[in-house]
Structure 1
Amino acid sequence: MTKQGGFKRAVRRRARATGQRYTEARAVMEQAGESPFADTRPFDDAALAAHLQLQYGIGVTSVVPIDDDPEFRPRGSWPGHYPWTLIVKRADGPPWVARVFSSPADGISRVKDDADILRFLAAHDFPAERIAHDDPVSVLDGAGVIVTEFIEGGRPTDAHGRVQSVEVQHELATLLGGLHTLPPAGGALARDGGAEEHDGGCFAGRPEQDLAAAMGFLVSVEDAVAPEGRELFEYLREHVEDTDDAEGLPEAFTHGNYHTWAAVGAPGDLSIVGWAGSGRGPRLPALAWLLTTAAEVGPEYVDAVMHGYREHVALTDDELERLPGVLNMRPLWLACLDYRESVRSGQTPTMEEGRTGYGFYRPQHAERLAAQAIASLRS
């Protein structure tokens, strides 16, 4: 059973795959953490509109980032939050969504894999976004672009981005359980998946890559940490190296960022979007992240997650034992990103702030949440 060393293990795997020495592989991964999000698009909205018109023979009236358009902005988001997801308003039909992947690490082949994954989900009637054209992937100035159909209804959230009802939370958990019971498949469906997808492709793959990214965030500002902030820096680095990466647990085809913001449509008829981080990997991290976001609303939402998920999946004893550690993985990713941004802005986060955790990362909270989730299974 694997409980420690997720970052070290990720480095060793990269070293084996590339033929690099351990120190070389670690340096590459840490350097990648300097820029977890993709750089500015190599083209403007007008260029994308012209490209789509030429590629698909459609009339485009406008192309706007989804969160910059008051008509289509998802509830709870803010302008500039999703610059890579754009609304394509067409003169001759309903709008499309264009997702742009400009980081070289994404690879055009990976975007084509995304399209194959959406075809697989459609073939199995799983409620997800659908490709908007038989040939949905194109290339503009080296960036991969995939077009999908726009789904009416927006997110099932309030103005603060929180889930609106226990019933919606139950529906999301039921869909996740259904996703995790889809039949095994090869090709794109067999690629490594489950890590956070909004990292410019630097750490695409299994959930352990979230820990590699978290380490990259820390190392990228290590030289700027003031002496009084060193204790918290070492605290976070130690926890990144020791946090459970879920390796060795049961696997399935899974989503990379599964929570309320991945759902759109009307409650009772929701669809899941954002499949760039999907692939085969341990199934527990996606459930853990859904539980973490549910717990921010209330304990009854945690119960709804467990009751919905168990309609399809029975967790193993190993998964239940390791749930507290796996619950820590994504919050630790967020905490290290927040730490990096704080240091870059000239602040010095100290251990006084981190006595029981730091930011999103609260290990004691994870223990309590795991206990509640396990108790829900028995109710």
Structure 2
Amino acid sequence: MDFRLNDEQEMLRRMVADFADQILAPEVMKRDREGTFPHAEIAHAGELGLLGMIVPEEWGGAGLDTVSYAVALMEIARVCPSSAVTLSVSNSVCAYPIWRYGNDEQKERYLRPLATGKIIGGFCLTEAQAGSDATNQKTRAVRQGDHYVLNGTKVWVTNAHVGKVFIVMAVTDPQAARGGISAFIVTPDMPGFSFSAKEEKMGLRASCTSSVVLDDCLVPVANLLGHEGDGMRIPLNALDGGRIGIAAQAVGIAVGAHEEAVKYALERTAFGKPIAQHQAIAFQIADCATEIDAARLLTLRAASRRDEDHDRAGPEAAMAKLYASEMCNRVAYKAVQIHGGYGYSRDYAVERFYRDARVTSLYEGTSEVQRIVISRAVLAG
């Protein structure tokens, strides 16, 4: 089996790496300190086709395979994990479900602007009492004439305040199995839609996160995505792609932290030689390099599996997300440790990578949820 990227994938990787190094890197520390969203940089990413990577060309996208998508996110996250999650969410769990389940009118109105980078999008599933238990939705959608009236609050919404279109899950039939959940395409200009204050987060501080409040929000019937009751099928399928995206982000964070650790270990001297020449440090570097490569291969395998069958990549996506996210936290920890006291300073990039790493085992399904998905697949035979 050939684990190398093909020529097109390698060309994309280099292009995205150049974008990350030249466009994202210069202000990355400042954005983290100030918690500012990289509007100009994300617009530039849109011009490069990075907001429509997995959307077919007929709808304005780049028409890339999932492997290419994962490779691109790894390079973005290596420099700016906040930008990586912005791109991952807009691609995986907003644009993708509209392409997969939307009708032509919805695709023309919402998917094309997303794919061409004119706007970004978000995904509204999680609620205060519906995190890992995603079917415990309290948001309701009641049809009244040619509109649905939505009421409820969604929390931890990535791309809040900056997104222009959101996939919102709501209960349309409380008596139905799994809550009778349906999906809607909702925009912030619809009556009754508002954002709460931005969350003050530990990491990913240059990404926008807040709650979405739906107070008698009027959504046209034409904005129902798929059919009533399709709801959980849509987010679960989209989340497979989302988990691959977060696995790729985790790999990128680990690579970024590891590169900083290696550079520091070669420059810092102790007891008359670079600390990289001390076995205690060299072995940590070796372990991290091995874990990063293992996570990268798991992630690319999951991406390849999704390219083969969009409905059958769940276990592979869960394995990649589980391992990559936990690996990412271990590598970031060791990168700080190798830096010693300097790793605790905000003047060094490893401190930021350490904070950014923590969320990867929490969002897009916690590590515990990934283990549930994996164990069910294994036990089912």
TM-score, shorter chain, exceeding 0.5: no
TM-score normalised per structure 1:
0.35
Q: Higher helix share goes to which structure? A: 2
Higher relative contact order (CA 8 A, sep 6+): 1
TM-score (norm 2): 0.35
